[in-house]
Amino acid sequence: MSAAREMLCDTARAVFVEAAAEGIAPVEAAGFSLLLVAEADGGFGGDWGDVNAVLAIAGVAVPDLPVAGLILSGLGEADDALHAAAAVSLMAGAMGEALGLSIEHVNTRQQFGRPLGKFQAVQQSLAVMACEVRAVEAAVAAMAKRLDTVGLDAGAANFEIAAAKLRANRAVGVVTAIAHQVHGAIGFTREYDLHRVTIPLMRWRGAHGNDAHWAQRLGRQVTGFGGRGLWEAMTARAD
Amino acid sequence: MHGCRDMQGFALYPFDPPGDISALRADLRGWLAQHQPQGDVVERANCWASFDAGFSRALGAAGYIGMTLPARYGGGERHPLERYVVIEELLAAGAPVGAHWIADRQTGPLILRYGSEEQRQRYLPGIAKGKLYACIGLSEPGAGSDLAAVRTSARETAEGWRINGQKIWTTGAHLSHVILALVRTEEGSERNAGLSQLLVDLDTPGITIRPIIDMAGNHDFNEVFFDDVLVPHGALIGTRGEGWKQVTAELGLERSGPERYLSSHALFAALIDAAGSDPEPALAVLIGELAAEMWTLRQLSMSTAAKLAAGEDPMVEASVVKELGNAFEQDMPRRVQAVIDCGWDDENDLARLLRALLIASPSFSLRGGTREVIRGIIARGLGLR
């Protein structure tokens, strides 16, 4: 991560702590609606990589606040596909947090005289979960790269946004189920932090296009490419 | 609150090969249009097991094998990520790369890294020409997932190494020139200590190769018996007693490549063509889901290749690629069968690809490390156990 983006992340963390107590006002005051606005127009001139990094934090810290909408408002009437892209970034952050909480829990919680993480059944479950989280992180990074290459033109990044949102949606089931399973009853309480990411994950899965929506759309785009054309399109878009 | 922690822990490496990658792809696609055999469509699935020595020699002559090796050994001195691009193109096209596959992917790089000057000069030019094929002698009857249980022994004598024992599940031994065998060189040693790698010419007296026919009726596997086989001192690759470390590094090359998600690409392409330009909803949904998964796997595989190229050890990332790639490829024929109307014995391309891959699919999460072993590696990487 570049030094500038590290600084942006630090700022976001600090602002979101305030926002968790006071609502969206501190995020507005910090100028996050200017993140994507060009420097020439008085904005920060950030790219989608920056948006992705900030939203990954927001997905954990303030999942109930409309941070993504606020950032996109800087673009005027943002394409709904960009809202879907923003949702994927939130989801990646929340999934990383669910994995982190799960690892911490199984390494700490003792049953049958040893930490849960020593049991192979638990290890294998967490490995499956980690693969899903990595997949979403890879998808979101590639989507961000494409968006930045095409200057945030959602139409030109339609394949990547569809693929990333669909892949993230499909990961939610595995990630939330395993996170709750390895936590046991404590993860189902109001007091414990896990629901602060798992409930938003379930919400974001249905927002800005559910599985059927994106699968249909992507499937139709791919049949338009044809069998060999899919590979040619996929490589041409990334080279 | 943890924020960016996890993302920083597992940063994606940018896939950024030098040179004009679009031109590299275009050249190779043009070459394939001229040289790829127009054989049976089923041969295009799982094509890294399709053996075609004529194709391998032509590919080698065109400079697409041993691409990363130094020029003095007949290599192309290209960047590892340029080789990655070539490999993914060959696999996506379903080219028959099985003959040289292991030599190009693993044995060549291993000889370059650990071999003596004499070994490099002896083997690398043949590998780069697509003429010298290798197999990997790891598993034994008593050592499958538990590789450290290897018992095949090599004793150093005045004349050279004397090898006794047996390897099993050795893919392509009957078609290869050399076997890179993991053997116990230190008498009385236990587990992963005392192991070494020997590069053995398969025409050495005392070696017997017996076929094992798989459930699809194919002959890929073999048993390889060593009965008092004498090989020169110079057969040792790398450091005596360091075989475990060398093999572990080699497996990183084996697990994360594009073959982990492109083996079944011929079926996906046939499904897309069969669906036509106005697909029914169930087909469109499946094609969309498979495309999203494939695209994501490609990102993971490329990022892992970039990390490997940067000289780091992506053991955990490589295992993630293998685990997700295996699941994708294993599920694909089942999911295709669930939505298309086709009989088991139908003879159209889609039906024959589907049948072949349904039957082949159980092996996907066995070869190159079982699913359970791979998940164990990932769990260790997460800080469990």
- What is residue A230's three-state secondary structure? helix
Looking at the structure, do residues A42 and A97 belong to the same domain, yes or no? no
Kindly state the average pLDDT of the residues B58-81. Answer: 98
Who among A126, A216, A226 is closest to B273 (CB)? A226
**Helices marked H in chain A — which ranges?**
3-22, 25-29, 48-61, 67-73, 80-108, 120-149, 158-183, 195-206, 211-225, 227-238
**A4 and A65 assigned to the same domain:** yes
pLDDT, position B256: 83
Alpha helices in chain B (DSSP H): 5-9, 21-35, 41-44, 53-61, 80-93, 98-102, 108-114, 117-128, 243-255, 259-262, 265-275, 281-309, 315-339, 349-360, 371-381
pLDDT at res. B312: 87
Sign of CA dihedral A125, A128, A133, A136: negative
Asked whether this complex has an ipTM greater than 0.95, the answer is yes
pLDDT at res. A239:
84
Residues A59 and A100 in one domain: no
Q: How confident is the model at residue B254 (pLDDT cuts 50, 70, 90)?
A: confident
Residues of A in Cβ contact (< 8 Å) with B296 = 135, 138-139, 142, 163-164, 167
What 3-state DSSP class applies to B151? Answer: coil
Mean pLDDT across chain B = 94
Has residue A86 been placed in a domain? no
Are residues B252 and B110 in contact, defined by beta-carbon separation less than 8 angstroms? no
Please report the pLDDT score of residue B274 as a whole number.
96
Question: Hey, is the C-beta of B18 within 8 angstroms of any chain A C-beta?
Answer: no
In this predicted structure, the answer to whether residue B220 has a pLDDT above a threshold of 70 is yes
CATH number of B136-245: 2.40.110.10
Return the SS3 of A108: helix
| Superfamily (CATH) of domain B11-132 | Acyl-CoA dehydrogenase/oxidase, N-terminal domain (1.10.540.10)
Rounded Cα gap, residues A119 and B5, in angstroms:
25
Subunit contact B292:A164, Cβ cutoff 8 A:
yes
Domain boundary among A44, A78, A112: A78
Distances (CA, A) of A191 to A14, A200, B3: 23, 16, 20
Give the confidence band of B4 by pLDDT, cuts at 50, 70, 90.
very low
Is A91 an 8 Å CB contact of chain B?
A: no
For residue range B308-351, what is the model confidence (pLDDT) as tens digits? 999 888 888 999 999 999 999 999 999 999 999 999 999 999 99
CA distance A212 to chain B (A): 7
Span B256-381 CATH architecture: Up-down Bundle (1.20)
Is B265 near chain A, with CB under 8 Å?
yes
| Residues of chain A predicted below pLDDT 50 | none
B384 touches chain A (CB under 8 A): yes
Q: Domain for residue A83, yes or no?
A: no
Token pair in block for residue B2 = 């943890």
CA-nearest residue to B284 within chain A is A219
- Looking at residue B248, what is its pLDDT? 86
- Structural domain including A6 reads 1-78
Whole-number pLDDT of residue B36: 96
Whether the CB of A239 is below 8 Å from some CB of chain B: the reply is: yes
Domain ranges in chain B are 11-132, 136-245, 256-381
- Residues A105 and A70 reside in one and the same domain: no
Q: Which of B104-113, B152-161, B307-316 has the lowest mean pLDDT?
A: B307-316
Q: Are B320 and A103 a contacting pair at CB < 8 A?
A: no
* Together in a domain, A30 and A58: yes
Interface check for A213 against chain B (CB to CB < 8 A): the answer is no
